[in-house]
Amino acid sequence: MSELTADKAAIISAQKKARVKWGFIWALLTAVMWGIGYVPLQAIWGIEPLSVLYNFENPDSGYLVGSYLDAFVQAMMFGLILTAVWAGATGKLREYKRVITNRKILKWLFFGALCGGPMAIFGSALATGYIGATFAASVSLLSCVVGALVARVFNHEKFSIKAIIGIVVIVVGGVIILNPTDMIDNILHPASDGNVLLGYLGAFMSVIGWGIEGNLSIRALNITDADASLPVRFFIEFVFWCIIMLPLLLVIVGPDKFFDCMAQTFSSVPFLFWMAVCALSLGFCYAAQYKAFPLIGVGRTLCLCNMYVPVSMIALFIFLGQPLNILLVVGSVIAIAGTFVMYWERGNEVSGGEVDG
């Protein structure tokens, strides 16, 4: 009897190790694809129609339209093309139908899409347009701290002393990357070509939005499949852009300017090419992240995903020639150190656990 119990315990232990192993693999793939994704996100601001948005009488409205089109086309490609292909390739189209007709699952994907789309992706697009992709990529790493803190309350995740130390170290790295002195100076003395405050606001929108989204998504992922729920999540986001954000932009900038820019966008082959590259990188990033959430938890997944920061800096330097900032490098190294503090945690697992609807 004891031998059977020991064998069962060994099997459970092996399964748990396999879950953790694949959770780390998916999270690290997320970091790589997320970092590379900032290259096309920055590149699209150098081609038409986004490159001529300065011609608007109000440059702020031009950037708002550009940021909207950036996020809108991402959601369209993610939800209607890329993730649908992903669901088909993984044989989860039947599960997709079950997810989109199940209110218990749909409510969590609904609020997750709201935080991850109009809040986080739009915020990141604003930060990229107003300030730059390097800053947008760097500041978003703080989303793991928001996710971990929210998970502590919302998903009842347990954190040991080492996990807490890891979070603190990541915050220190984030502060160095942000460089509060320069940030305050930029806000008080903005450049003449736009309101940089909207860029910082967008950056923190992305931090909060992505941190919260993970905790909402885990509710759905505990009762359904990641490959099927992800297309539904992006379809919901696409609907948000159409029925909520679009009317707001029409009021802010006027229908003539908006639809003229949209017509240029969908007739620009270079723009659509870079957005397709973005969809391939960030779309797979989301797919990998959704697979990691239920395996190793929201907090640990987001912490490992912090490694997208050095990936993005290296990719932006190689492909777009953006210089490496010493503070960004130092801050990233410190943040990665905090990530590995959490990685080598041997006490309580930082996992999502079973959460009912």
Q: Residue 136 and residue 123: Cα distance in Å, rounded?
A: 9
Task: State the pLDDT at residue 192.
Answer: 53
Does residue 9 lie within any of the structural domains? no
Does residue 245 lie within any of the structural domains? yes
Q: Rg of the chain's alpha carbons, rounded to an integer?
A: 21
Residue corresponding to tokens 């990033």: 285
Does residue 351 lie within any of the structural domains? no
Does residue 281 lie within any of the structural domains? yes
Does residue 79 lie within any of the structural domains? yes
Does residue 357 lie within any of the structural domains? no
Does residue 48 lie within any of the structural domains? yes
Residues 6+ apart with CB under 8 A from 356: 222, 223
Give the Cα-Cα-Cα angle 247, 248, 253 (nearest 5 degrees).
100
Task: State the pLDDT at residue 351.
Answer: 40
Biggest CA–CA distance in the chain, Å, is 80
Instruction: Outline where 131-268 has alpha helix (H).
Output: 133-139, 143-154, 161-178, 180-188, 196-221, 226-240, 246-253, 255-266
pTM reported for the whole predicted model: 0.80
How many DSSP H helices and E strands does the chain contain?
A: 18, 0
Q: What does the pLDDT profile of the chain (357 residues) look like in tens digits? A: 555 576 677 777 777 888 888 888 998 899 899 899 889 888 888 887 777 664 555 555 667 777 777 788 877 777 777 667 777 787 888 888 888 888 888 888 899 888 988 899 888 888 887 888 888 888 887 887 887 788 777 767 777 788 788 888 888 988 887 778 877 887 777 665 556 888 888 988 998 998 888 788 778 777 887 778 888 888 888 888 888 888 887 887 778 877 887 888 888 888 888 888 887 788 788 888 888 888 887 667 777 777 788 888 889 999 988 888 788 788 878 877 877 776 555 444 444 333 344
DSSP letter string over 35-83? HHHHHHHHHGGGSTTGGGGGGSSSHHHHHHHHHHHHHHHHHHIIIIIIH
Domain count, the chain: 1
Task: State the pLDDT at residue 208.
Answer: 92
Task: State the pLDDT at residue 2.
Answer: 59
Does residue 15 lie within any of the structural domains? no
Angle between helix 59-76 and helix 269-296 axes, rounded to 10 deg: 60
Letter string b/e over residues 267-296, b meaning 16 or more CB atoms within 10 A of that residue's CB: ebeebeebbbbbbbbbbbbbbbbbbbbbbb
**Are 174 and 339 within 8 A, CB to CB?**
no
Q: Residue 162 and residue 284: Cα distance in Å, rounded?
A: 31
Residue corresponding to tokens 């908006």: 258
For residue 304, the enclosing domain spans 27-343
Task: State the pLDDT at residue 299.
Answer: 66
Rounded to the nearest 5°, which phi and psi values hold at 23?
-60, -45
3-state SS class at 347: coil
Residue 297, phi-psi category: left (phi > 0), alpha (psi -120 to 50), beta (remainder): left
